[in-house]
Amino acid sequence: MTPVAGPGGDGGRPTLLCVGIAVVDVVTHVPGPLTSGVKQFADRITTAYGGPATTAAAAAARLGVDVELVAALGDDDRGYALRAALEVRGVGTSGMVVRDGVSTATSLVIVTPDGERTIVNATDARLREPLEPADAAAMMARAAGVDAVLVDVRWPAAAALALAAADRAAVPGVLDLDRTDVGEHDRVRGLARAASHVIASRDALDDLLAAAGAGPVAAAPDAALDALADLADGGMVAVTLGADGVVWRDVDGSSGRAVPPPVTAVETLGAGDVWHGAFAAALARREPVARAVGLANAAAALRVARTGGWDALADLDEVLAAVGDDRHDGA
């Protein structure tokens, strides 16, 4: 793995490339627990947009970073609406891929009064097929010219190319290591070795360890970081623990545990994705890891405290205020 380059660029806005899955979310807010086999009523049903890298892209754009997203859509009305929603929020979509005869990935999201959510997703396998050569070359060229790259695990073939380009350009290559299908675990391990910054959810890390015949360790922070470091190739590692915060360890041996600002949870949908987008945006600004983690915690906490999907994303001033910093770092 190539060492990550220091501050550079021409003094303009920081740039970020996000690569992964894009999803249309049909979000149902219910007044209480569901009961199987009977008709029930919702407080409201809305359409929103998501996917780990896609929501991360929207969050980073809200934080003042120039963002390009590479994701695959179906040639349907849902896909066109998702693309338009990204463009309205300042996310570049020229690298998006449209698959003919395929439906855009869609999730049914059930949100209970405590803010917790249950997700049922349908994603056509053709949305995860490798890029055509011309599209792959264009994405790699984009990755070579940005300040940071963020990928999720839902489109491994595209993610691997983007991380390889980031490595060659010596810019941060961030992996959002979330839960995925059992059959993808080998690919996920490959992505972890290719990334310079590997951020795993507690559940995803335990899934990978179980697949290798090891017991869960994510409840023990030091053991979790050791296990994740074994999967990675000498890069920075972190494990997200939900409301319990994040534990992290950088390549220079520094480490820490950061707890997010206390909030009342209203809607947790997309909070982890916002965390990754804010973290990658901070790295694109060449913030040190400890500060990047703190800013990401604040952005995710603000998301949890609000309803409204992407319309609830915090801007940079709000995030800085949440960490007790009233200076504006620039757009």
Query: What residues does each domain of the chain span?
Result: 15-322
* Rounded distance between C-alpha atoms, residue 75 and residue 3, angstroms: 40
pLDDT digits (tens, 9 = 90+) for 199-230: 999 999 999 888 888 888 877 888 999 999 99
* Rounded distance between C-alpha atoms, residue 67 and residue 57, angstroms: 6
Question: What residue type is 252 in one-letter code?
Answer: D
* pLDDT above 50 (res 329): no
* Rounded distance between C-alpha atoms, residue 232 and residue 34, angstroms: 40
Which pLDDT does position 180 carry in this prediction? 85
pLDDT digits (tens, 9 = 90+) for 38-56: 998 999 998 989 899 999 9
Which pLDDT does position 238 carry in this prediction? 96
* pLDDT above 70 (res 9): no
Q: Region 75-82: what's the mean pLDDT?
A: 95
Question: What residue type is 218 in one-letter code?
Answer: A
Q: DSSP label at 3? A: P
Which pLDDT does position 7 carry in this prediction? 43
pLDDT digits (tens, 9 = 90+) for 257-292: 998 888 888 877 789 999 999 999 999 999 999 999
**DSSP run (H or E) holding 60:** helix 52-62
Q: Which of 143, 188, 193, 150 is nearest to 166 (CA)?
A: 143
The beta strands (E) that lie in 214-331 are given as 236-240, 246-249, 255-258
Mean of the per-residue pLDDT values of the chain? 90
Scanning the structure block, which residue is given the tokens 């309803």?
A: 307
Residue 172 tokens, joined: 């941060």
* pLDDT above 90 (res 146): yes
Which pLDDT does position 11 carry in this prediction? 52
* pLDDT above 50 (res 320): yes
* Rounded distance between C-alpha atoms, residue 88 and residue 316, angstroms: 18
Top CATH class, 15-322: alpha beta
* pLDDT above 90 (res 177): yes
